[in-house]
Chain A
Amino acid sequence: MADNGRSPEQKRPCHHVPQPGDVNGSTVDTGCGTVDSGCGTGDSGSSGAGGSRSSSECFDEEEPKLSRVRRRTDSCRKNRPPFPWFGMDIGGTLVKLVYFEPVDVTAEEEQEEVDNLKSIRKYLTSNVAYGDSGIRDVHLELRKLTICGRTGNLHFIRFPTQDMLGFIQMGQDKNFSSLHTSLCATGGGAFKFEQDFATIAGLELCKLDELDCLIRGLLYVDSVGFNGLPECFYFQNPSDPDHSTKHSCSLDNPFPMLLVNIGSGVSILAVYSKDHYKRVTGTSLGGGTFLGLCSLLTGCQSFEEALEMAAKGDSTNADKLVRDIYGGDYERFGLQGAAVASSFGHMMCKEKRESVSKEDLARATLVTITNNIGSIARMCAVNEKIERVVFVGNFLRINTVSTKLLSYAMDFWSNGQLRALFLEHEGYFGAVGAFLELLKPSEDL
């Protein structure tokens, strides 16, 4: 975040000053509703992940890359983008959408507001489910947020990436393009669906790097807090997962941190400052693997269903433990009897395959994937000499089994050196980062 440590409530004049190199400078004074046609095309070619990466590096510098964000100034308050304000993160499995609902709309403003815009606001804020698969995470809503001179609520919405084309179609149906807004999007889908947005809905995306957005969004949400409460939490007494308890904490001095983002796959970043980070490694064994394997093994239809099954299962019916082999601990190597020696190891045996339940298999899948992520994260933390490990991503949503297991693994294998931290808005930071990008230049100036 640009204003890390500075209260976002602080009202600052937002105005757009043309900058050297700002190819769109000439469009500043165009009237309300005029589309800045100059920035779109030249932009789309260069705004690949590589380009936007550097935007993170010069976030605060003299020349904000205005060209990155399509900017249409509204006639009344020239210096901020017109509504609606969205940020979008199109992942491999889920699309995450944040929507800013202004609550300080004046009567005059409301008069001016086009119907279209009104109906979008209404549709999004009065429903908690959209179509068959869209869901608004009401409990995550950030209320009375003041940003860029406006106060409003930030809504968090998700739907499966599979339904992306339907979403774009809806954009077309609702004539979204007539609003001439910038649609800031990150995640792989921003690239993959760019063409569809353009051809179906006549919308041009502003594509942003997902890791840039992730970090920016995370730091921002942490800095504004969760409606007065801290965003961050950890588990106290992690060595006893049955009795460990969730505790809030602040991420006051977050650097360096190892950021483990568990989406469909996993990316592990070492973050040294708000604009200095590197991707250490990643693994393809992530949330997608959990759900994919679970649906093959149990026929479950959704993440929720998979987790429900896992909650009821016993992984030791599928996994072979150290004590199954050695009768107890393997002392020569300091391995506890209860440690998993071979994930799904019992399933080599026909009798055990016949007696295992779907719930057991779901649990074993969850435990396997989680432990593996924990193990890789721990190794990275040691290699990078970082003690703070922050886990985010939608795999952790409603997934206490995994969060507790990760807390346990970090604590146990490091003899208490490492602490696993989690964030309430686990999967939404990329979308928030994209949303902030939309507002960024006005924030900066």
Chain B
Amino acid sequence: MAELDRVEKSSHSLDKSITLPPDEIFRNLENAKRFAIDIGGSLTKLAYYSTVQHKVAKVRSFDNTAKEASSEKLYEISVQEEITARLHFIKFENAYIETCLDFIKDHLVNTDTKLIKATGGGAHKFKDLIEKKLGLKVDKEDEMTCLIRGCNFVLRNIPHEAFIFTKHADSEFRFQNTHPDIFPYLLVNIGSGVSIIKVESEDRFERIGGSSIGGGTFWGLGALLTKTKRFDELLQLASKGQHTNLDMLVKDIYGGSYGSLGLTGDLIASSFGKSATTDKEFSKEDIAKSLLHMISNDIGQLACLYARLHSLTRVYFGGFFIRGHPVTMHTITYSINFFTKGEVQALFLRHEGYLGAIGAFLKGAEEDNPNQYSWGENYAGSSGLMSVSPDINPMQRARSGTFDMLEMDRLERKLVNLPLLEDPSSYVPDTVDLTEDPLAREYWLFCFEDALDGVVKRAVASQPDLPEAVERAEKFRQKYRHKLQTLRQQPFAYGSLTVRSLLDTREHCLNEFNFPDPYSKIKQRENDGALRCYQKAVAALDALGWEEKQFALVRGVLAGNVFDWGAKAVSDVLETDRDFGFEEAKQKLEERPWLVDSYNQWLQRLKGPPHKCAVFFVDNSGMDIILGVMPFVRELLLRGTEVVLASNSSPALNDVTNGELQILTETIAAMDPIIQAGLKEDRLVLVQTGSSSPCLDLGRLDKELTIVVREREADLVVIEGMGRAVHTNYFARLSCESLKMAVIKNTWLAERLGGKLFSVVFKYELPTPPPPAAPPMKEEEEEEKAVFSP
């Protein structure tokens, strides 16, 4: 059964005393529409769609003919208001429902909305209250349908949504990568009863079985046997109990194991079997523990029988019995492992509690067709996974457990995976999972905390005309510092913790406080400076012999890549030494042989036929793009290779954005006939990645880009920079040739890789040859991985 009407009427009285902080909860209500509500036995989940007005940085070329004298600057930067769509999901205890409804009514300005979609067992009970308070008509939606819709939505849109749970492991949560194809799967929903649903596509699903022994049985029997009323308290009791006092184990019957059947002595032969024959008193804790084992094992067994019958290996568990409780996740995982002998892993979902609300919302928003867009979890506005059991961290739970939030932004572009990935389903963008690497985690969390002052300073400096920028920047500081603190406690809060996620979280927080592009001025200054050197640089290169030129081009890209404001070692230099230029950067570079050095193979390759089309994922603006990347691109064009320049859609650090790159390229074209011809002949194209991250997820790229890649039959992928080629994609395998170039601008990382500051990664790789008979060799990869685990 789904989450049924397990509302315990007397246990929660409605609490009206709470005051809601409007900045934090129920945000953006002014433009809210399409409400949906999912009322369960103890928690209410509210969903609505809203539009967020926020500032975005835009660049625009000066009209050269008219304003030539007015400015030395190449383009102007303007901050514009943009409206984007955001989904808000809030979870709170039923006790607050009336207060919340009042709050919504007071803040809801838009009156277009007439309906509220409702699901969950409590929807019926609170129908009148909702209709009275909000003046919206309650429209009930089928619970199971909502659940499945919601599940499909989070699986498709939230990376690291699903995880396996391993108690006692270094990292209890092991997140799963989003599989390009989420179907088919089994959803085992453990509400008061259990429903087992097979999902084959967006619209095709079937309840293939179920059981009456579920969360309600644990709660109901538990309450009878232990006189403990609340579900959470029962779980707490269970976590302290010993099941062996009540359960009859195999060894109680056999004196040891039952060897011929492979049944170990500790296996439960008969749940509660000992309480049948002993008259002694049993502790509440022991009773709760036996009950928990009995129910978890039973559900696990049924789930396995159904999974086997339908040949399904992906089995997700949800419902209030699971909902973030480590105790139940552990017992269910144990049971599944036992019954399938490890063939099936129990999967849990980070946003499991929201599925019904998301589904109900989607039902109501069908005319907006939300499934045609890609959505992204907003790390700034989402609470993250708070699955700390009350006994581990009682305060934390009491406070943050009251209101939990999930916010999702509608992305401008539909995101799909790069068609050139060797195996999209096993692609993992991130090189190091900080959730599983405490040392690295410690370091990077420190790093980001340490860099925070600088980011705040730069954010303020980017908006000199806005006096309240200081205050906003301070709010940003608090928000991001709080996120870092949360992540220190719960590294799993937003899925696997990675350098990428730390960077992305910072971007989300900056955007949240309207600092869309703190580096805009710096980028502008550096772009201007670099453009002035372009022609000279190209002329110097053209004077070189072929081989020297190839090497100089590569060194150019690397030297350009030193100019990274995201790296503290560099930004400290750039802040103090205004004269630090391209030549100085070259001096910093490591001499060959580099830390990772396959330059000889690359040179050898260049002696061969030209590539058909190269996709170049670029990094920083200024020297990097103009003096490093552009001459390299120019050479590719000269060789007869088409070039696709892929840059970020929106700002991140000092990375060049697609908007900026358009202007820069046109300016360069005006100086350089080769670039000019490339543009004119459509052999040089600029496309956006769909990303606004300093890192690169090749699994989530702008669909337009992937179309270009496919149409032009790209046979070379160049990935540049530490964020894109080291923190991410270092191990990425592509089905075509690839070139990863970066300068390590962080001593700690360099040392970890066995190098030093300004070590060079130059990694030229060929695709894995199609296996003739034997399986493909993976040794090379293994070796390189070893570098990362000293």
Contacts and interface: CB of A to CB of B under 8 A. Distances in A.
A110 B252 CA distance: 42
Interface in A96-140: none
B253 A187 contact: yes
B248 A265 contact: yes
Contact of B282 (A192, A286, A296, A332): A296
A53 B11 CA distance: 55
Nearest to B263: A282
Contacts of B256: 191-192
Contact of A344 (B8, B217, B253, B271): B217
A287 interface: yes
Contacts of B261: 49, 211, 279
Nearest to B257: A49
A187 B269 CA distance: 12
A293 B217 contact: no
B392 interface: no
B166 interface: no
A296 B290 CA distance: 13
Contacts of B193: 320, 340-343, 345
Interface in A336-352: 339-351
Contacts of B313: none
B327 interface: no
Interface in B585-633: none
A341 B1 contact: yes
Nearest to B145: A332
Given A348-B8, A376-B302, A49 B258 contact: yes
A441 to B, nearest CB: 22
Contacts of B223: 347-348, 353
Interface in B184-239: 191-193, 195, 207, 209, 211-217, 219-221, 223-225, 229
Interface stretch (A29-37, A68-76, A222-230, A377-385): A377-385
A289 B273 contact: yes
A343 B273 contact: no
A48 B225 CA distance: 39
B259 interface: yes
Given A286-B270, A288-B248, A189 B253 contact: yes
B206 to A, nearest CB: 8
A341 B271 contact: no
Contacts of A347: 216, 219-221, 223-224
Contacts, number: 231
Contact of A264 (B246, B248, B301): B248
B275 interface: yes
A402 to B, nearest CB: 16
A350 B10 CA distance: 8
Interface in A365-382: 368, 371-372, 375-376, 379-380, 382
A341 B9 CA distance: 19
Given A333-B207, A371-B212, A192 B192 contact: no
What bracket does the count of chain A residues touching chain B fall in? 35 or more
A289 B260 CA distance: 24
Given A281-B301, A297-B224, A345-B192, A265 B270 contact: yes
Interface in B488-508: none
Interface string A23-63: 00000000000000000000000001111110000000000
Given A92-B253, A191-B256, A383-B308, A348 B212 contact: no
Contacts of A353: 220, 223-224
A342 B214 contact: yes
Given A49-B261, A353-B223, A342 B229 contact: no
A348 B260 contact: no
A160 interface: yes
Contacts of A178: none
A176 B256 CA distance: 27
Interface in B433-463: none
B124 to A, nearest CB: 9
A440 B221 CA distance: 48
In the complex, which range does the number of interface residues on chain B fall in?
A: 35 or more
A295 B9 CA distance: 29
Contact of B220 (A161, A322, A333, A344): A344
A325 interface: yes
Contacts of A50: 259-260
A348 B144 contact: no
B276 interface: yes
A273 interface: no
Contacts of B192: 320, 341-342, 345, 348
Name which of A188, A292, A351 has the most chain B CB atoms within 10 A of its CB. Answer: A292
A284 interface: yes
Contact of A361 (B224, B270, B277, B301): B224
Contact of A92 (B142, B207, B269): B269
B454 to A, nearest CB: 54
Interface in B142-181: 142, 144-145
Contacts of B282: 296
A345 B253 contact: no
A292 B290 CA distance: 11
Contacts of A351: 9-10
B481 interface: no
A283 B8 CA distance: 31
Given A53-B260, A284-B297, A340-B212, A345 B6 contact: yes
Contact of B298 (A285, A334, A350, A361): A285
Contacts of A53: 260
B255 A346 contact: no
A368 B277 contact: no
Interface string A242-282: 00000000000000000000011100000000000001010
A287 B271 CA distance: 9
Nearest to A300: B276
Contacts of B145: 332
A204 interface: no
Interface in B269-292: 269-277, 282, 287
A318 B274 CA distance: 24
A345 B269 contact: no
B272 A191 contact: no
8 contacts: A188-B253, A264-B270, A333-B144, A342-B212, A342-B216, A343-B221, A345-B216, A379-B309
Interface of B: 1, 4-6, 8-11, 41, 121, 142, 144-145, 191-193, 195, 207, 209, 211-217, 219-221, 223-225, 229, 246-248, 250, 252-256, 258-261, 268-277, 282, 287, 294, 297-298, 301-302, 305-306, 308-309, 339
Given A187-B253, A288-B271, A342-B212, 11 more contacts: A281-B301, A288-B276, A297-B224, A318-B220, A332-B144, A342-B192, A345-B6, A347-B223, A353-B223, A371-B212, A379-B309
User: Which 7 residue pairs across A and B have the least CB separation, nearest first?
Assistant: A347-B220, A292-B272, A188-B253, A288-B273, A288-B270, A342-B216, A192-B255
